[in-house]
């Protein structure tokens, strides 16, 4: 079973609020996520909400919309920008539809390790993205993470890129994801998170890519037989508030809502990463064959990925080229 102490993007958002005292009488903070109902995330949310009720004297009313109740990530994002929702936990892939520079973070095999990704994001890019978020109507609170994405399939074990030729795969709708899957010869079909499981069950798609944690939380493992640990994209996430909502608050209220800010990121990452082995074991117990590609097989995926950066960085626009160049310099400073 998935451990109850898992901290996801949404949990990070609520913890940020949990550090607060009262914001104002009967303040309602609506948070949305595609994290599914019944997952360990919602079990933890109940505890956090109880804590907030106690510490705020009931002045903060938190309303969480899990499981894509407010739509897929793209729909949630637009509602946050418009101020209909006060906040959300969203993957970088979804946020990149509005903040195009985030696409750069999802270039396959961009980071060689978790520690390198942490260093680059926290120590070299945080302020750049804080400004980019605000310019698009979002207030950046903290980085979170989905983790390293791998490939789940229904009827065909994936060992090399050749095994993916012509296979219908659910893909995330972003230029980087689209370019990578196209380079692999995949028939990529963008599908919102709430529709992925039925699409797998009915054969609309034959597979997907995501983390072991999210695969299990969304119960996608029930529709696949194979899971290949390609770890091709490290996908960060972010906790954001609506700038429209933010601008209605005074300085004290903003301080309360911001809480520890990106200081939440390290503990959240540790909690998610610590259970990866358990997630993989759980997949195996669910009769999913988990495959660890050899170094030569991974090299074939990386070779395909090498074409993606050159294809997309110049086309994304905005400050993408500057961000990409900054990442390359930061990686040298951060090490492997």
What's the rounded Cα separation, in Å, for the pair 73 and 90? 7
Predicted local distance difference test score (pLDDT) of residue 49 = 55
Predicted local distance difference test score (pLDDT) of residue 51 = 52
What's the rounded Cα separation, in Å, for the pair 80 and 73? 11
Task: Return phi, psi of residue 158, to 5°.
Answer: -100, 115
The single residue listed with the structure tokens 């370019």 is 179
Could you tell me which residues come within 8 angstroms of residue 78 by beta carbon, excluding any fewer than 6 positions away? none
If 0-12 CB within 10 Å is exposed, 13-18 middle and 19+ buried, where does residue 277 land? exposed
What's the rounded Cα separation, in Å, for the pair 50 and 34? 22
| Strand-pair category, 187-190 with 168-171 | parallel
Strand partners, 242: 138
Closest to 268 (Cα-Cα) out of 3, 7, 5: 7
What pLDDT tens digit does each residue of the chain (336 aa) get? Answer: 444 444 344 444 444 444 443 454 567 889 888 876 654 444 444 554 565 566 566 676 778 888 889 998 899 999 999 999 998 888 898 899 899 999 999 999 999 999 999 999 999 999 999 999 999 999 998 898 888 999 999 999 999 999 999 999 999 888 899 999 999 999 999 998 889 999 999 999 999 999 998 899 889 999 999 999 999 999 998 889 999 999 987 787 777 778 777 887 887 788 778 888 999 999 999 999 999 999 999 999 999 898 899 888 988 888 999 999 999 999 999 998
DSSP 100: G
Strand partners, 187: 168
Contact 147, 234 (CB under 8 A): yes
What's the rounded Cα separation, in Å, for the pair 214 and 221? 10
Predicted local distance difference test score (pLDDT) of residue 15 = 46
The C-alpha torsion from 210 through 84 and 101 to 106, rounded to 10°, is 0
Predicted local distance difference test score (pLDDT) of residue 134 = 97
Could you tell me which residues come within 8 angstroms of residue 75 by beta carbon, excluding any fewer than 6 positions away? 192
Contact 110, 234 (CB under 8 A): yes
Q: How many CB atoms lie within 10 A of CB 178?
A: 17
Q: How many CB atoms lie within 10 A of CB 150?
A: 24
Contact 123, 183 (CB under 8 A): no
Predicted local distance difference test score (pLDDT) of residue 174 = 83
Predicted local distance difference test score (pLDDT) of residue 20 = 43
Distances (CA, A) of 197 to 42, 75, 190, 205, 233: 19, 18, 13, 10, 21
Could you tell me which residues come within 8 angstroms of residue 202 by beta carbon, excluding any fewer than 6 positions away? none
């Amino acid at each position: 079973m998935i451990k109850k102490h898992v901290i996801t993007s949404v949990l990070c958002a609520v913890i940020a609020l949990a550090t607060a005292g009262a914001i104002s009488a009967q303040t309602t903070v609506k948070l949305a996520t595609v994290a599914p109902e019944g997952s360990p995330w919602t079990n933890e949310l109940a505890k956090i909400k109880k804590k907030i009720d106690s510490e705020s004297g009931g002045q903060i009313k938190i309303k969480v919309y899990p499981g894509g109740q407010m739509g897929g990530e793209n729909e949630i994002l637009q509602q946050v920008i418009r101020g209909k929702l006060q906040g959300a936990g969203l993957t970088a892939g979804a946020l990149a539809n509005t903040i195009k520079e985030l696409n750069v973070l999802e270039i396959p095999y961009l980071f060689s390790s978790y520690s390198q990704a942490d260093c680059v994001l926290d120590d070299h890019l945080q302020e750049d993205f804080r400004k980019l978020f605000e310019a698009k109507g979002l207030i950046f609170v903290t980085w979170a993470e989905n983790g390293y994405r791998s490939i789940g399939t229904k009827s065909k074990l994936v060992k090399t890129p050749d095994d993916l030729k012509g296979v219908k795969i659910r893909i995330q709708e972003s230029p980087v994801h689209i370019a990578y899957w196209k380079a692999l010869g995949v028939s990529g079909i963008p599908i919102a998170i709430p529709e992925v499981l039925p699409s797998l069950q009915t054969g609309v798609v034959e597979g997907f890519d995501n983390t072991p944690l999210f695969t299990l939380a969304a119960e996608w493992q029930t529709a696949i037989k194979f899971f290949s640990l390609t770890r091709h994209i490290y996908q960060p996430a972010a906790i954001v508030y609506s700038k429209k909502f933010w601008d209605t608050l005074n300085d004290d209220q903003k301080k309360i809502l911001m809480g520890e800010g990106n200081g939440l990121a390290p503990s959240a990452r540790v909690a998610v990463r610590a259970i990866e082995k358990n997630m993989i074991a759980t997949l195996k117990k669910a009769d999913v064959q988990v495959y660890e590609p050899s170094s030569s097989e991974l090299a074939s995926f990386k070779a395909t990925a090498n074409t993606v950066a050159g294809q997309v960085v110049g086309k994304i626009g905005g400050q993408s080229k500057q961000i990409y160049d900054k990442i390359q310099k930061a990686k040298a400073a951060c090490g492997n």
